[in-house]
Structure 1
Amino acid sequence: MKKFFFTLALLCAVAGAGFAQTVSEGTIILNPQLTNLAYNSFKVSSDGASSKFSMYGLQADGGYAIKDDLLIIGGVGYQGLKFEDTSGSMLNIRAGVRYYIFNGLFASGSLVLGHGKLGDGTIGDLGFGDEGYEEEYVESDAKADLNSLNLAIGVGYSIFLAERFSIDPFLNYTYGLSNKVAGESFGMTALSLNIGFSFYF
């Protein structure tokens, strides 16, 4: 899988070399994304205990260039979650900025607000609280509320395959500012590879 993504990125970079450009003031961008494709590293923690989890999803962003190479971005997304034997889903909204540094290289930052459900398993396996937590709060078929506020920062490269279309692989780091499941707070960090497809108008 890693070789596939490396080869794809190399071919796109060669094909897109002739279209490298800046994003002009007034440009509108539509940017659907496939998130958490590879190189995933996620961790949740509470009271010194930690567990790894997996995530996959779709994101749809839109933006406007308020000046050359600086865009205000907003979007909505869906994430599927898997904590060992527990699965769930989440919808999120985000707002942030993207800045093109040089020749397609960009950095981004955003705040992400999410709400979802976690269930079809037991949350006690995640290390939240003591052994009595599972029986007191969550039954095996219950769904618990999941709320999150995260800071996401990333770096990527826009490979222009045409004047108004680019493929945007980028590495994203997410830090949990405030996350709760069934009313219990937990910490969260995530590092993932995403791929976006940008259309410029």
Structure 2
Amino acid sequence: MIAAVAVFGLTSVNAQDTDSSQTAEGKWLIEANTGNATLGNTGFYLSTSDGVTSYNIGFDGGYFVIDDLALKAGLGYGGVSADLGDTSVFSYRIGGKYYVNSMIPITLDLTGASIKDATENPMWLGIGAGYAWFLGNNVSIEPGLRYNHSLNEDFTDEGVFQVNVGFALYF
């Protein structure tokens, strides 16, 4: 399946309309990404293991202030359901995304979460990179790698490495 997506993506890159770049100044961006249950995020995930179910739903949006540079913000809502009780998580993200050569997205952002009834909440500084496969003028698939550095040592002092797949709309 990954090979099929790669072949489809590479052929779609060659079919791009270079006269109206998706990442041009003044355009808007809406993203949905896969997520990671270990930190607050604005992505999508569902995980069940040993009677514990975790879920999240969220989106990011951005505006291209200059060609290839979008300022972004995102919101997410999720929770954990377990035998010992349920909790909810509200997540937020703010940062920027720069497209090198209009197709290699580099992100830098601050991500945090507010966990119901928690004494400490996580906050992360994240950096990521990937590749944007444009499927026409308004859609891209963006697989990527991301590293999140914990800014709250009372919550955790460990960093988190992620492999994500993002889907973006441009208008």
TM-score range, shorter chain: 0.7 to 0.9
Report the structure, 1 or 2, having the larger strand content: 1
Which structure ranks higher in relative contact order (CA pairs < 8 Å, sequence separation ≥ 6)? Answer: 1
Secondary structure, aligned partner of 1:19: coil
- For 1:73, the equivalent position in structure 2 comes to 72
The 5 A counterparts of 1:1-201 are 4-19=1-16, 21=18, 22=21, 23-36=23-36, 57-78=56-77, 90-117=89-116, 144-178=118-152, 180=154, 185-201=155-171
Whichever residue aligns with residue 32 of structure 1, its letter is A
In structure 2, how many angstroms separate the alpha carbons of the residues matched to 1:64 and 1:188? 32
Indicate conservation of the 8 Å contact 1:113/1:150, yes or no.
yes
Distance 1:57 1:194, change over 3 A: farther
Secondary structure, aligned partner of 1:25: coil
- For 2:47, the equivalent position in structure 1 comes to none
Q: CA deviation at 1:29?
A: 0.8
Q: How many residues align?
A: 154
In structure 1, how many angstroms separate the alpha carbons of the residues matched to 2:86 and 2:157? 18
In structure 2, how many angstroms separate the alpha carbons of the residues matched to 1:62 and 1:149? 20
Greater Cα offset, 20-29 or 63-72: 20-29
Distance 1:178 1:158, change over 3 A: same
Secondary structure, aligned partner of 1:162: coil
Distance 1:81 1:65, change over 3 A: same
Q: CA deviation at 1:192?
A: 1.1
In structure 1, how many angstroms separate the alpha carbons of the residues matched to 2:32 and 2:85? 28
Indicate conservation of the 8 Å contact 2:122/2:156, yes or no.
no
Indicate conservation of the 8 Å contact 2:17/2:136, yes or no.
no
- For 1:127, the equivalent position in structure 2 comes to none
In structure 2, how many angstroms separate the alpha carbons of the residues matched to 1:64 and 1:5? 30
Give a deviation string over 1:97-156, Cα, whole Å, max 9, x none. 000112411100100121114xxxxxxxxxxxxxxxxxxxxxxxxx64451111011001
In structure 1, how many angstroms separate the alpha carbons of the residues matched to 2:65 and 2:149? 27
In structure 1, how many angstroms separate the alpha carbons of the residues matched to 2:8 and 2:86? 36
Give a deviation string over 1:179-198, Cα, whole Å, max 9, x none. 54xxxx42131111112211
In structure 2, how many angstroms separate the alpha carbons of the residues matched to 1:189 and 1:103? 29
The structure with more radius of gyration: 1
Q: CA deviation at 1:87?
A: 8.4
In structure 2, how many angstroms separate the alpha carbons of the residues matched to 1:80 and 1:6? 33
TM-score between the two structures when normalised by the length of structure 1? 0.64
Indicate conservation of the 8 Å contact 1:20/1:159, yes or no.
no
Structure 2: 5+ residue stretches without partners: 40-53
Give a deviation string over 1:33-59, Cα, whole Å, max 9, x none. 2224xxx9x79xxxxxxxxxxx86443
TM-score between the two structures when normalised by the length of structure 2? 0.74
